[in-house]
């Protein structure tokens, strides 16, 4: 274990798998289980832990530079890891109009955790994977910085998410997960056993995610892995859109089951899974595991939290 091994932070792993009583599932003979990834660590919940673990091991204490929008959960988790493990962090934030304004609560948290924030215009942000643009950003960063892409989804992140799938072997027939970049789904599907299926719910509109998941699996494993599908019906109008119906669904779910539901990803996945159950999409006897990939942070608004 090196000094930047996240296991020093005593994560709750394997994350708990909790059966819940929900009549919308029970009446169809379905079992609903919640995979409580939100309980892994208070500062690095859910897929943030899975994605950062191998990356921070690889960075081995070097400064970490990464990217995100003004409400990025990923930026916040990276900043917290830097504080907890003692390495410098740099956050490249989309939107130069934010520079000089008071920080929103999410970015204030990053700064309080010691992250150096650099605001860039949208064109630069879009070009961040272009080698020349990245080289310029790195010139201003501390020497030897380790780069983690937006959303944290690189090869090591996908490989880190394999463990999530392994923890679910034998426990469920279908595993539901919300998707942004698709990295969590790519790794999860690879970790499941034959006969288990991963069902991904994109929270962004566009229909581009299948190709991304395939590309991530190709890069991480050399080819396709596992049985996964995407259901494009539940993005609810696009990223960060939370309709009154979705809000009502989430509140009702919270009241039924006594846990707080993150709206931009987890609520959309649970809404999709519940809709499918009620449509009779699963045969009686199916065990459904819903991955709770994150927790609400109290500072989310209808803005970007990727
Ligand atoms: C709570 C939550 N769930 C799911 C996801 C989607 O993960 P991915 O980008 O790996 O598809 C994210 C984004 O990182 C997230 O913050």
Any atom of ligand 1 within 6 Å of the Cβ of 55: no
**Confidence (pLDDT) at 298:** 54
C-alpha to C-alpha distance for 125 and 136, rounded to whole angstroms: 12
**Confidence (pLDDT) at 299:** 42
Nearest to 303 by CA among 263, 253, 268, 269: 263
Mutate to test the pocket of ligand 1, among 189, 261, 265, 292 (most ligand atoms within 8 A of CB): 265
Distance from the CA of 241 to the center of ligand 1, in angstroms? 15
Q: Are residues 34 and 72 in the same domain?
A: no
More confident residue, 124 or 305: 124
* CATH number (domain holding residue 218): 3.40.50.1100
Those residues with Cβ within 8 angstroms of residue 26's Cβ, 6 or more apart along the chain or in another chain: none
pLDDT tens profile 89-115: 999 999 999 998 999 999 999 999 999
Any atom of ligand 1 within 6 Å of the Cβ of 274: no
- First and final CA of the chain: distance in angstroms? 30
Any atom of ligand 1 within 6 Å of the Cβ of 293: yes
Q: Are residues 179 and 272 in the same domain?
A: yes
Q: Are residues 35 and 174 in the same domain?
A: yes
Give the other-Cβ count within 10 Å of 258's Cβ.
Answer: 8
Where b means 16+ CB within 10 Å and e means fewer, 145-169 reads: bbbbbbbbbbbbbbbbbbbbbebbe
Residue 109, helix vs strand vs coil: helix
pLDDT tens profile 165-197: 999 999 999 999 999 999 999 999 999 999 999
More confident residue, 259 or 303: 259
**Confidence (pLDDT) at 196:** 98
Q: Are residues 174 and 284 in the same domain?
A: yes
* Rounded average pLDDT over 122-134: 96
Any atom of ligand 1 within 6 Å of the Cβ of 201: no
Chosen domain end from 111, 144, 177: 144
């Amino acid at each position: 274990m090196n000094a930047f091994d996240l296991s020093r932070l005593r994560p709750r792993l394997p994350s708990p798998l909790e059966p819940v009583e929900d009549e919308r599932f029970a009446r169809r003979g379905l079992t609903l289980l919640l995979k409580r990834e939100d309980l892994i660590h208070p500062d690095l919940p859910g897929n943030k832990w899975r994605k950062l673990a191998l990356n921070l091991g690889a960075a081995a204490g070097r400064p970490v530079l990464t990217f995100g929008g003004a409400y990025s959960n990923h930026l916040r988790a990276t900043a917290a890891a830097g504080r907890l493990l003692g390495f410098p962090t740099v956050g490249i934030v989309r939107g130069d109009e934010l520079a000089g304004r008071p920080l929103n609560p999410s970015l204030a948290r990053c700064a309080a955790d010691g992250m150096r924030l650099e605001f860039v215009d949208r064109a630069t942000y879009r070009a961040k994977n272009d080698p020349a643009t990245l080289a310029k950003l790195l010139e201003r960063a501390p020497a030897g910085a380790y780069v983690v892409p937006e959303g944290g989804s690189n090869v090591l992140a996908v490989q880190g998410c394999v463990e999530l799938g392994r923890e679910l072997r034998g426990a469920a027939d279908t595993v539901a997960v919300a998707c942004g970049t698709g990295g969590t789904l790519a790794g999860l599907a690879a970790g499941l056993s034959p006969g288990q299926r991963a069902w991904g719910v994109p929270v962004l509109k566009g229909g581009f995610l299948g190709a991304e998941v395939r590309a991530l699996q190709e890069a991480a494993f050399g080819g396709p892995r596992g049985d996964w599908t995407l259901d494009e019906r539940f993005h609810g109008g696009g990223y960060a859109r939370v309709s009154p119906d979705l809000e009502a669904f989430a509140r009702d779910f919270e009241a039924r089951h006594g846990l707080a539901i993150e709206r931009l990803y987890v609520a959309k996945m649970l809404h999709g899974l519940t809709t499918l159950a009620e449509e009779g999409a699963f045969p009686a006897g199916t065990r459904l595991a819903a991955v709770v990939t994150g927790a609400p942070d109290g500072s989310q608004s209808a803005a970007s939290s990727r």
